[in-house]
Chains A and B, each alone.
Chain A
């Protein structure tokens, strides 16, 4: 067996820090090399900030875990320089079918909007996802970027002072101490860093178990997401079938609360279950089997002085809706440019509090959506089950009931409405979807796409409007991207950014969220918006 998740990709190696007389100090230490920690490190290193990643393991995720990645995280990966290999390897899907009892009640097409570089979703095993991130980190390292990955390094204590954080790290050669100006804790749902700091992680536990099996099979099933409510092969429960690359199929079977997990996980119990679903003659091999329960919860605050929590360490959702890794990537997307400005001394530390404001808003939206899906899949009371079944019965015949069927609301990025960083929304007739706080919608431009042209810093997007080539406010510059609506004959650019306005000037943050917008160039207003978007006003 030589699965990628069995190979140590960043094995332990002794480093000079372990022999130093006084603890060595780094700009940023990221704890955890899961998808979120790796994305954070790449983002910072790409911008030239020194970063060390510590992980007690040395391999990518065991088993596939997260499989669905949504459009926005793929766009973030493009910015991080590793979108292409993921999308090339991933399975693109857009059709889903819903079954109830013995019948198919309806099918749907995600009907992704035209004119975006990235699809609505890809399916990809988490181990491949992490492998490509490790590859990107290694490539940056080879180019001389200040990034270092240390496997076999387990953080065992955290001590915070006003000017930095001290970490004790256990290794196969014994412990050492290391310092950091900033720590990003991406050490997963069980976050030892969170526990060591004595911080709460409260929320709701769902009394349910799910058997997850990744099977390798040559199957004639189409590349679709199939979801069953109360099927004959898993009475009273739900089931999911989803395709991954390399002929790996994700099967998720709800088991209920009172089960013996160890028993259920045994192949002699798993295989008959799968056969009753896939047919007696189905030929398959088990790649990974696991039983999980889940919770929806978050930390009260994600910033604790110089320690910033991101990903599952900060918030946890049920898997319905694929919001775990997807939202974790949006955390680091939000955090890293802010931290970069603070490290450079161009923005005050208080800018990091906006990470709390914005990503707690995101986490709450994700928790709300995944809680609702879970309640639909596992109704909490007899009455809610009656309504759930009524929705399913009606959905077979009447279109109105279909939007009520909730087997997971697929992850979309949140709009930072009400964020303290948002500036003026002065564009009369401007579309709602690109209001301040919103993630920039992509649009086709000649033979490329808008998001690829925004760059990694603040951008001044002008569409049929005059402006200087760049604008600077106290050391922070925004570079102009000058477009005309006629560059996109499909009309998407105008529809997504102009609405009924003849021209527009947008100030766009490094994470590609809109900061402010105007009908035309206004020097003082744009500078004021930069001050605001960087926490200086």
Chain B
């Protein structure tokens, strides 16, 4: 059973963060929300591990509340 990785794991985080924001460039708030939802669903499928995703959801809902 895998655990959620909360240690930094991304190379050049500023570049990736800029790409994330660029994805939203020119979208309305509603369009951005929809794009975010699609992105989460795509990433869920990519991660696939149900236990990891449960821990991720708990961490997102209440950061720090769960020991993940």
Contact = CB atoms under 8 A, between A and B. Distances in A.
Interface of A: 369, 372, 375, 381-384, 387, 391, 393-394, 396-400, 402-404, 406, 409
B9 to A, nearest CB: 6
A394 B64 CA distance: 8
Nearest to B5: A400
Contact of B63 (A384, A393, A399, A403): A393
B21 A387 contact: yes
Contacts of A387: 17, 20-21
B8 A403 contact: yes
22 contacts: A369-B14, A372-B17, A375-B21, A381-B32, A382-B29, A382-B32, A383-B24, A383-B27, A383-B29, A383-B36, A384-B21, A387-B20, A397-B63, A398-B63, A399-B6, A399-B7, A400-B6, A400-B10, A403-B10, A404-B14, A404-B17, A409-B14
Contacts of B1: none
A399 B8 contact: yes
Given A381-B32, A403-B8, A406-B14, 9 more contacts: A383-B36, A384-B24, A391-B17, A393-B63, A394-B63, A397-B63, A397-B64, A399-B7, A402-B8
What does DSSP make chain B's interface, helix, strand, loop or mixed?
helix
Contacts of B2: none
Most buried by B among A396, A398, A409: A398
A369 B12 CA distance: 12
Nearest to A373: B14
Nearest to A397: B64
A498 B20 CA distance: 38
Contacts of A382: 29, 32
Contact of B14 (A372, A383, A384): A372
Contacts of B18: 372
B59 interface: yes
Nearest to B24: A383
A396 B24 contact: no
B68 to A, nearest CB: 8
A393 B59 CA distance: 11
Contacts, number: 53
B8 A400 contact: yes
Contacts of A409: 14
Nearest to A369: B14
Contacts of B10: 400, 403
Contacts of B21: 375, 383-384, 387
Interface in B24-60: 24, 27, 29, 32-33, 36, 59
Q: Which 8 A-B pairs have the closest CB atoms?
A: A397-B64, A398-B6, A383-B32, A403-B13, A397-B63, A383-B24, A400-B8, A403-B8
B60 to A, nearest CB: 8
B17 to A, nearest CB: 5
A141 to B, nearest CB: 44
Contacts of A397: 6, 59, 63-64
Most buried by B among A369, A403, A409: A403
Contacts of A381: 24, 32
A387 B22 CA distance: 12
A402 B7 CA distance: 9
A380 to B, nearest CB: 8
Contacts of B9: 400
Contacts of A400: 5-10
Contacts of A391: 17
Contacts of B63: 393-394, 396-398
A368 to B, nearest CB: 9
B56 to A, nearest CB: 10
Nearest to B63: A397
A389 B8 CA distance: 18
B39 to A, nearest CB: 12
Most buried by B among A375, A397, A406: A397
A383 B17 CA distance: 13
Contacts of A398: 6, 59, 63
Contacts of B59: 394, 397-398
B64 A396 contact: yes
A387 B21 CA distance: 9
A391 B13 CA distance: 12
A537 B33 CA distance: 55
Nearest to A381: B24
Nearest to B4: A398
Nearest to B18: A372
A372 B8 CA distance: 19
A383 B33 CA distance: 8
B65 to A, nearest CB: 9
B27 to A, nearest CB: 7
A384 B13 CA distance: 16
A391 B11 CA distance: 17
A133 B64 CA distance: 50
A381 B14 CA distance: 18
Nearest to A403: B13
A384 B27 CA distance: 11
Contacts of B29: 382-383
Most buried by A among B8, B17, B18, B59: B17
Contacts of A393: 63
Contacts of A406: 14, 17
